[in-house]
Amino acid sequence: MKRPLILVTNDDGMFAPGIKALVSIARNFGEVVVVAPNSPQSGKGHAITIEEPIRLHRVTVFDDIVAYECSGTPVDCVKLAKNVLLKDRQIDLCVSGINHGSNASINIIYSGTMSAAMEAALEGVDSVGFSLMNYSFDADFEPSKKYIAHIIESVLNEGINDCNLLNVNIPDLPSKELKGIRICRQAQGKWDEEFKEGIDPRGQKYYWLTGKFYLDDERPDTDISALNDGYIAVVPSHHDLTAQAALSSNPHLIA
Amino acid sequence: MKRPLILVTNDDGMFAPGIKALVSIARNFGEVVVVAPNSPQSGKGHAITIEEPIRLHRVTVFDDIVAYECSGTPVDCVKLAKNVLLKDRQIDLCVSGINHGSNASINIIYSGTMSAAMEAALEGVDSVGFSLMNYSFDADFEPSKKYIAHIIESVLNEGINDCNLLNVNIPDLPSKELKGIRICRQAQGKWDEEFKEGIDPRGQKYYWLTGKFYLDDERPDTDISALNDGYIAVVPSHHDLTAQAALSSNPHLIA
């Protein structure tokens, strides 16, 4: 049987421990090709590069694994992988991450990790974004590995029904406290922004984005609930933003 | 009665004819404040700026209208407007655009215009993104103005039911051929990318993103169908990406 072709990407760049962990898992299930940004791209959402050219450079990072650095966004990485580097081949799975930090709830729309995964899904490739709820370089990815392996194997063997994109968030817990996997919905939440105001060395004012996450959802079946309960949260996701209920309830807008 | 406070933004920058047209309409319905990017931000999706500071500069562009240029993305513009410039006031409506070019179908997820509108919606502000299907600087916004005015007035007076975000796309047609407004769903479509490969003056290879839109949806109730029929397409939208049908159909993922 032909080995599956697995595209690995992320938004933290090629030297983040998270992508190294993901490559080490994915390579057990198929042929891995890595295309990742050459600079940190957290918070880039679904940005694409259209006003300037993009560069691709072959690099040696993960032993014998074929890997390219890309000067663009995470979405650019996937577009270049699909349409240039691997254009004559079928990609069987795209995995993105492991992100350093949560992409649960509303974070999915700001996340470069999830936008890369969504772009692959748009291209018809089953796709999974993985995030560990620990921002630090020293985050411990070991406890999550067997679950990530299970998800990769399940998707390769049985696919994803009724969508082709999964947003997987993993609590930052030791192995014995990780309770398993729960399939759940995106929690309603938002960021309460605060901008740190400062004066730069030239005397000019600047603003620097900061803030904290605010949950506005007590439903028991959300990703945040699962994470709080010690479960890995898997949200089956798609790119149709239509608010179904609102289709018939706004006749006043018609003219 | 207090005049409504209307935030105007876009992704094409302060000097795009589209935002000028939008300001000229919005000012008839309330007090307008403009916060727009200081450079073209098309295709920036829901990107936010976290790795560097953001600048805001007061500018005189639209006669007596208060306006600020922002060095960040369209989403940054909205965050700064809501949390810094207008933090002690209630924004009654956010309008984004008028974008030069379509944001129908899948374009909503790449669009800076729509991401700005979605950010305001996330902050609890009724929000509408407007796009005219003509990319050129000389696009004629006149025929669309009475419909945009109607939508702004309707949302200010009656709100939006069951969501707080509208994606409005306008066919590039003369007044007598514009048939009216249709409320519809996001069409399934995608971009077939092609990367133009070239060699730069230093002899290095580059890739430049291009491509064409490919529609994979024959349903009569989509935004693309409405536009093809000569109607202005209004898609009520939200930020919940959960694929509902997939919540119960993927037990193999659980471990």
The alpha carbon of residue A1 is apart from the nearest alpha carbon of chain B, in Å, by 22
Task: Give the confidence band of A193 by pLDDT, cuts at 50, 70, 90.
Answer: confident
Task: Give the confidence band of B105 by pLDDT, cuts at 50, 70, 90.
Answer: very high
pLDDT tens figures, B6-63: 999 999 999 999 999 999 999 999 999 999 999 988 899 999 999 899 999 999 999 8
pLDDT tens figures, A36-81: 999 988 899 999 999 899 999 999 999 899 999 999 999 999 999 9
B212 belongs to a structural domain:
no
B211 belongs to a structural domain:
no
By the CB < 8 Å criterion, does A87 face chain B? Answer: no
Q: What are phi and psi of B204, to 5 degrees?
A: -95, 145
Does residue B70 contact residue B77 with C-beta atoms inside 8 Å?
yes
Does residue A101 contact residue A114 with C-beta atoms inside 8 Å?
no
Kindly provide the ipTM of the predicted complex, given to two decimals. 0.93
Quote the mean pLDDT of chain B: 96
Distance CA B22, CA B34 (A): 10
Rounded alpha-carbon distances, angstroms, from residue A148 to A9, A232, A237, B49: 15, 10, 17, 30
Q: What is the pLDDT of residue A2?
A: 85
By the CB < 8 Å criterion, does B151 face chain A? Answer: yes
Q: What is the pLDDT of residue A121?
A: 97
Distance CA A151, CA B117 (A): 35
Distance CA A17, CA A12 (A): 9
The alpha carbon of residue A250 is apart from the nearest alpha carbon of chain B, in Å, by 6
- Using the predicted structure, report yes or no on whether residue A161 has a pLDDT greater than 90: yes
Instruction: Point out the least confidently predicted range of A1-5, A9-13, A247-251.
Output: A1-5
B97 belongs to a structural domain:
yes
How many structural domains is chain A composed of?
1
A54 belongs to a structural domain:
yes
Q: Which of residues 37-76 of B touch A (CB under 8 A)?
A: 40, 42-56, 73, 75-76
Q: What is the pLDDT of residue B64?
A: 93
Task: Give the confidence band of B2 by pLDDT, cuts at 50, 70, 90.
Answer: confident
Task: Give the confidence band of B165 by pLDDT, cuts at 50, 70, 90.
Answer: very high
Task: Give the confidence band of B187 by pLDDT, cuts at 50, 70, 90.
Answer: very high
pLDDT tens figures, B222-239: 999 999 999 999 999 999
B159 belongs to a structural domain:
yes
Beta-carbon separation of B250 and A161 below 8 A = yes
Q: What is the pLDDT of residue A42?
A: 87
Mean pLDDT of B194-201: 94
A45 belongs to a structural domain:
yes
pTM given for the model: 0.95
Of all residues in chain A, the percent with pLDDT exceeding 70 is: 100
By the CB < 8 Å criterion, does A207 face chain B? Answer: yes
Distance CA B127, CA B96 (A): 8
Strands, sheet with B165-170, edge to edge from the N-terminal-most edge strand: B56-59, B66-70, B31-37, B5-9, B93-100, B127-132, B165-170, B231-237, B180-183
Distance CA A16, CA A11 (A): 9
- Using the predicted structure, report yes or no on whether residue A1 has a pLDDT greater than 80: no
Beta-carbon separation of B106 and A239 below 8 A = yes
Q: What is the pLDDT of residue A28?
A: 98
Quote the mean pLDDT of chain A: 96
Does residue A253 contact residue B151 with C-beta atoms inside 8 Å?
yes
- Using the predicted structure, report yes or no on whether residue B101 has a pLDDT greater than 90: yes
B208 to chain A: closest CA residue: A53
Q: What is the pLDDT of residue B198?
A: 96
Q: What is the pLDDT of residue B24?
A: 97
By the CB < 8 Å criterion, does A199 face chain B? Answer: no
User: Tell me, what DSSP letter sits at residue A244?
Assistant: G
Rounded alpha-carbon distances, angstroms, from residue A93 to A40, A154, B229: 23, 11, 38
How far is C-alpha B71 from the chain's CA centre? 18
Q: What is the pLDDT of residue B129?
A: 98
Chain B residues with beta carbon closer than 8 angstroms to that of A235? 241-242
> What's the domain range around B62?
5-187+219-239
Distance CA A240, CA B244 (A): 11
Beta-carbon separation of A207 and B53 below 8 A = yes
Q: What is the pLDDT of residue A89?
A: 97
The partner residues of B33 in beta bridges, in order of sequence, read: B7, B66
By the CB < 8 Å criterion, does B193 face chain A? Answer: yes
Question: Which token pair is A162?
Answer: 């009724």
Chain B residues with beta carbon closer than 8 angstroms to that of A82? 193
A252 belongs to a structural domain:
no
Say if residue B98 is preceded by a cis peptide, omega within 30 of 0. Answer: yes
By the CB < 8 Å criterion, does A183 face chain B? Answer: yes
By the CB < 8 Å criterion, does B230 face chain A? Answer: no
DSSP A100-124: ES---TTHHHH-HHHHHHHHHHHTT
Mean pLDDT of A167-180: 97
Q: What is the pLDDT of residue B127?
A: 98
The alpha carbon of residue A12 is apart from the nearest alpha carbon of chain B, in Å, by 12
The alpha carbon of residue A63 is apart from the nearest alpha carbon of chain B, in Å, by 25
Map residue A86 onto helix, strand or coil.
coil
Beta-carbon separation of B43 and A56 below 8 A = no
Distance CA A129, CA A107 (A): 12
Of all residues in chain A, the percent with pLDDT exceeding 90 is: 95
Task: Count CB-CB contacts under 10 A for residue A191.
Answer: 21
CATH classification at residue A25: 3.40.1210.10
Does residue A120 contact residue A91 with C-beta atoms inside 8 Å?
yes
